[in-house]
Amino acid sequence: VMESKKAVVKDDVFWGHNRCRILDRLRLDGKVAYVTGGGQGIGRAFAHALGEAGAKVVVVDLVLPKAEGVAEELSLKGIKSMALAADVSKPEDVQRILDVIVARWGTVHIACNNAGINMNSASEDTSLEEWDKTFNVNLRGLFLCCQAAGRIMLKQGYGKIINTASMASLIVPHPQKQLAYNASKAGVVKLTQTLGTEWIDRGVRVNCISPGIVDTPLIHSEDLKPLVQRWVADIPAGKLAQVTDLQAAVVYLASEASDYMTGHNLAIEGGQSLW
Ligand code: NAD
């Protein structure tokens, strides 16, 4: 009996000398992270979550005072942080933030590409300007960030990229009129899957999170306000998500606990994509 027990212990990852402590494996101590669109809403919550898990956090936003405000909040919690301004749709901005991060903090381990915009118009009225603007931020911006951060990560053989997609990548939320948004977010998922499979054997994991309808300034725009009530009726959970509902997911995807996961689209939407 003793012998067979020993054999089990020897082969069992849960009892080996390198005993797994799951909460330790979720820690991000010593890691450098950035979050785009970190100045408010979901990005702000991601910045707090990554910082609380131990990472140093660069808060990136189009609007510098917003990024500075969040970096200040993090500092008050004892989290090392800095704020940078960038328009993620501009290659020179993206390269500049990565150059600054590497110059100040040596490298980047966690890239949280979250900045995104949403416009609302019937498809037949969607202007080329609206289409281009949406794609420039949501997809071109994401490509630029993934590529610039990915180059650094591939060189060091390690990195975690977490992109923000949307439940709109999985379903057509009714009665939204968001052709450009929905199409751009479907693109985020395919970009994530492609990079995720292309880079995993060089140590870089790329996943995305698809939030449902989250209570952030984005959904309180005049455009979307009338739709919010209707959306809530479509959520099995019966309520909007709060940004705190998304925080553990970003920590998980940024940590070594998710090392075997890549190209995944993690939906956090109160069941809405299933109805
Ligand atoms: P938000 O509008 O509250 O915040 C977005 C932040 O991104 C703002 O601080 C804004 O200044 C910044 N930003 C906008 N354009 C930028 C650019 N070109 N470069 C850099 N920063 C820029 O939005 P949110 O609700 O927090 O959404 C964050 C992400 O989550 C977006 O990608 C959005 O599409 C996605 N999302 C949101 C919801 C939701 O219900 N709120 C649902 C699904 C997905």
**Mutual orientation of helices 141-156 and 91-105 as an angle, nearest 10°?**
30
CA-185 nearest atom, ligand 1: 34
Check whether 17 has a pLDDT greater than 80. Answer: no
Give mean pLDDT, residues 158-177.
93
Q: Which of 34, 36, 42 to mutate to test the pocket of ligand 1 (most atoms within 8 A of CB)?
A: 42
pLDDT at 15: 57
Protein residue with its CA nearest to atom 1 in ligand 1: 218
Please enumerate in sequence order all residues whose Cβ is within 8 A of that of 248, keeping only pairs 6 or more positions apart, or say none.
49
CA atoms of 262 and 258, how far apart (whole Å): 8
CA-211 nearest atom, ligand 1: 43
Q: Which of 48, 216, 222, 244 to mutate to test the pocket of ligand 1 (most atoms within 8 A of CB)?
A: 216
CA-118 nearest atom, ligand 1: 34
pLDDT at 16: 55
Q: What is the pLDDT of residues 216-245, one digit of tens each?
A: 887 887 777 777 788 888 899 999 999 999
CA-63 nearest atom, ligand 1: 11
pLDDT at 222: 79
Provide the percentage of residues in the chain whose pLDDT is more than 70. Answer: 93
Q: Which of 87, 117, 135, 145 to mutate to test the pocket of ligand 1 (most atoms within 8 A of CB)?
A: 117
Lowest mean per-residue pLDDT among 50-64, 117-131, 223-237: 223-237
- The ligand 1 site (C-beta within 6 Å) comprises 36-37, 39-43, 61-63, 66, 86-89, 114-118, 137, 141, 164, 166-167, 211, 213-214, 216-219
Q: What values do phi and psi take at 56, rounded to 5?
A: -80, 140
pLDDT at 1: 45
Quote the ligand 1 centre to 115 CA distance (angstroms): 5
Q: Which residue has the higher pLDDT, 121 or 258?
A: 258
- How many beta carbons lie within 10 A of that of residue 91, not counting itself? 14
Q: What is the mean pLDDT of the chain?
A: 93
Cα separation values, 146 from 95, 113, 159, 267, 272, Å: 11, 8, 11, 20, 28
CA atoms of 119 and 190, how far apart (whole Å): 21
Cα separation values, 170 from 153, 201, 271, 274, Å: 29, 27, 12, 9
Using a cut of 0.90, tell me whether the model's pTM lies above it: yes
Catalytic residue among 34, 181, 252, 260: 181
Give mean pLDDT, residues 9-26.
69
Task: Give me the count of residues in the chain.
Answer: 275
pLDDT at 9: 55
CA-115 nearest atom, ligand 1: 7
Give mean pLDDT, residues 39-55.
98
Quote the ligand 1 centre to 118 CA distance (angstroms): 8
Quote the ligand 1 centre to 14 CA distance (angstroms): 40
Give mean pLDDT, residues 20-41.
94
Q: Is residue 34 flagged as an active site residue? A: no
Q: What is the pLDDT of residues 190-212, one digit of tens each?
A: 999 999 999 999 999 999 999 99
Provide the percentage of residues in the chain whose pLDDT is more than 90. Answer: 82
Q: Which residue has the higher pLDDT, 35 or 17?
A: 35
pLDDT at 176: 74
Give mean pLDDT, residues 256-272.
97
Q: What is the pLDDT of residues 141-154, one digit of tens each?
A: 999 999 999 999 99
CA triple 243-244-249, angle to 5 deg: 95
Check whether 12 has a pLDDT greater than 90. Answer: no
Q: What is the pLDDT of residues 66-123, one digit of tens each?
A: 999 999 999 999 999 999 999 999 999 999 999 999 999 999 999 999 999 998 899 9
